[in-house]
Every structure is written in structure tokens, then in C-alpha cells.
Amino acid sequence: MSSEPSLSVPTGVRIARGVCRCLISMGYAPLTEFAPTRGLRVDVMALGPKGDIWVVECKSSRADFRADHKWQSYLEWCDRFFWAVDLEFPQELLPPGSGLILSDGFDAEILRQPEPSPLGPARRKALVQNLARQAALRLAHSLDPQAGKMM
């Protein structure tokens, strides 16, 4: 991993980019800024090659972590939950038992795997369909920015 920060990209975005690159290399399909249900938005949700679902919350600073009051609500929407931080983040703030990913914007490394907490079949099916739908809509919008206005 490179330790040289990118000054033009916000820290949280840089962390998410490294996480997504790492997940893709592991066979996962990440989607950023995903809302599994109304009122929640996770930084990265990833669908694994065997259908497992991971949530990764990217934290850029102590203040960013302390301001996040919803993260425990994310646990019921994934099989595994991770925090992603950079080298500057005080890792002792992060709750034990959750996963930990170190990211520099170019790549990332999983430092700690969390214990799995498998989703129920009905929730998994609905979540996979929602992920697929959102990914397809984002792709369509990237090809035709006017497409979203047709809905």
C-alpha cells in the first residue's frame, strides 16, 4: 500500500476507493453510498462471489467516527461489518468484534475479520435484488444522464 495521500480527493472518498479496489480483487462487487432501507446509507456494500454481503463504513477522523450514530443499524443488513480507516486514524476507537480494513486510496488490507452474522434468506433475497437494481440504474445513468428523468 502507498502511504502518499491524494490531496485532491477527500479522505473518506479516498478510503472508499481503496476498499473497493481491494474488494474487487477478492471477487466482490462493491456499491458505494448504498441505502439498504429508508434512513440508512452505508459507505460501501459489497456482494461476494458466494452471495455474502459485507458493509464497510469508511471513517476519515475521530470526529467522523463520533458523529456516526447509525452504524449499529447497519449490522442487520450484512453478513459481515467492517470499519475502513487510513494510517492516521486512531484504531483504538473502533469497537472490538467488528472488522477492520486499512486503506490508502490505492488499495486496502483487511487487518481483522469480524465474526459472521448471516442474514435471513428473505432479507438476503430482497437486498440482493435492491443492490442489482441500484447498480443497474447507476450504470444506465452513467450512459445517459437523462435516463433518470424518465422514471
Residues in the chain: 151
HSE on the CB side for 76, CA within 13 Å?
Answer: 7
How does pLDDT run across 16-56, given as a tens digit for each residue? 999 999 999 999 999 999 999 999 999 999 999 999 999 99
CA distance 41 to 33: 6
Non-local (6+) Cβ contacts of 135 within 8 A are 29, 31
Terminal CA-to-CA distance of the chain, rounded, Å?
A: 42
Name the stretches of the chain with pLDDT < 70: 1-7, 148-151
CA distance 125 to 15: 29
Q: Which three cell numbers stand for residue 24?
A: 474487487
Q: Say what the pLDDT of residue 150 is.
A: 60
CA distance 129 to 16: 23
Please give the model's pTM, rounded to 2 decimal places: 0.89
Q: Say what the pLDDT of residue 7 is.
A: 59
Q: Domains for the chain: give ranges and CATH numbers.
A: 11-145 (3.40.1350)
